[in-house]
A = this chain, B = another copy of it.
């Protein structure tokens, strides 16, 4: 894969082109920080946007779910798909309402997903999905059995046609507005983990692991 993506007419960022990023490293940092993607597909002429978890390994994105899922069954027909990951970093409060904005980082990947059918590759993909959410957890839990593997559909989307968009930093106001008498700045936003809640059915002697206590999602 080339390090950068040459934008196609479909991934070229038109509006606020200065926010566009076609660099694979930046896009992968965004993908690696996110927890949920939004999958866009068309069924009977109607677009659907469905949130789901995902994982990345090298230049592939993986999503998974029930083999009965409408989303996955539709994707398995080889239809065009769009997977978008968005990280919201803050509210940008300008002096004019027009220049209010948000700080964010987002990646849009277009393409066609393929089902992962090879048993070894499928198991590996499920591990990638698990590691993406919480590294190390896979090795501490009951592995998938035959029945569960059969009930699960895993789709792989090659990250070929993509673009990212990034807005960071303070508000940008029109020159005439800087004297306007109001506060201006950024309210940072971050996805933060709270105190872990043990399953009520858990043996009370079992301690909460450090990785649950210290869970954080950072670039």
Contacts and interface: CB of A to CB of B under 8 A. Distances in A.
Nearest to A48: B82
A84 B49 CA distance: 6
Contact of A93 (B43, B82, B104, B137): B137
B196 A186 contact: yes
B183 A193 contact: no
B196 A80 contact: no
Interface stretch (A19-27, A55-63, A95-103, A113-121): A95-103
A126 B41 CA distance: 29
Interface residues of A, number: 94
Copy number in the complex reads 2
B185 A196 contact: yes
B191 A196 contact: no
Contacts of A106: 51
A204 B35 CA distance: 38
A7 interface: no
17 contacts: A14-B68, A14-B70, A47-B82, A49-B83, A91-B134, A96-B142, A100-B137, A181-B206, A184-B202, A185-B208, A187-B193, A187-B196, A187-B215, A188-B196, A188-B197, A190-B191, A190-B194
Given A48-B110, A141-B180, 20 more contacts: A15-B68, A36-B86, A36-B102, A38-B49, A39-B49, A40-B82, A41-B47, A42-B45, A51-B84, A51-B106, A93-B212, A97-B126, A97-B130, A97-B144, A98-B152, A178-B201, A183-B198, A184-B199, A187-B197, A190-B194
